[in-house]
Amino acid sequence: MSAELDYKAVRYWDDVDVDDPLPGFSMPLDWTTMALQVHGSQDWSRIHHDPDYARDSGHDDIFYNTGWTAGMLGRALTDWAGLEGWVCKLSFQMRGMNMNGDTVSSKGVVTDKYVDDDGQHLVAVDVWLENERVGKTTPAKAVIRLPARTA
């Protein structure tokens, strides 16, 4: 299956194969992005927007919060799943920081597809965030329900 993404399309379970890539997307991180994530999440912790405070706390600089991280992973999954897909499970580990000046990319790969005992057509994926400074910052696993062409 092609890795091209049309998030308005319906992705069918029948058309997905193990090892198919999730094309993901990239986002450069700057002060506007930081202001939007802090304001949107209302996470007023100074560690996310005050560089001096972040450095005094032992970090190299300000870094993006858990909600932003979940949102980036969620967007990669829902864009790929299409209009009728549903993210059933998502777990992730924040192992590295995403900071201003980084360009963060989401990527992924299909690791399994199966029909569960309830007849749901499911796809397991590994998905992650990475940046050029650290490499993979946030490994994640997800299960997505997709519609099937066949009953």
pLDDT tens, residue by residue, 91-113: 999 999 998 999 999 999 999 99
* Conformational region of residue 50, where left means phi above 0, alpha means psi within -120 to 50, and beta covers everything else: beta
Q: Return the structure tokens found at 53.
A: 């405070």
d(CA 64, CA 53): 14
pTM of the model: 0.86
* Residue 42, CA distances (Å) to 37, 55, 90, 138 in order: 8, 21, 23, 22
Domain boundaries, the chain: 13-29+68-145
| pLDDT at 40 (0 to 100) | 72
> For 45-78, what is each residue's pLDDT tens digit?
777 778 888 888 888 887 788 889 999 999 999 9
Dihedral angle at the C-alpha atoms of 9, 13, 14, 20, nearest 10 degrees? 90
Taking residue 148's Cβ as centre, other Cβ atoms within 10 Å add up to 14
What length does the chain have? 151
Region of 67 (left: φ > 0; alpha: ψ -120 to 50; beta: rest) is: alpha
Asked whether residue 1 carries a pLDDT value surpassing 50, the answer given is no
What is the chain's alpha carbon radius of gyration, rounded to the nearest angstrom?
17
Report the alpha-carbon distance of residue 131 to residue 27 in Å, rounded. Answer: 10
| Amino acid 8: pLDDT | 66
pLDDT at 14: 96
User: What tokens does 40 get?
Assistant: 């949107």
What is the dotted CATH code of the domain comprising 13-29+68-145? 3.10.129.10
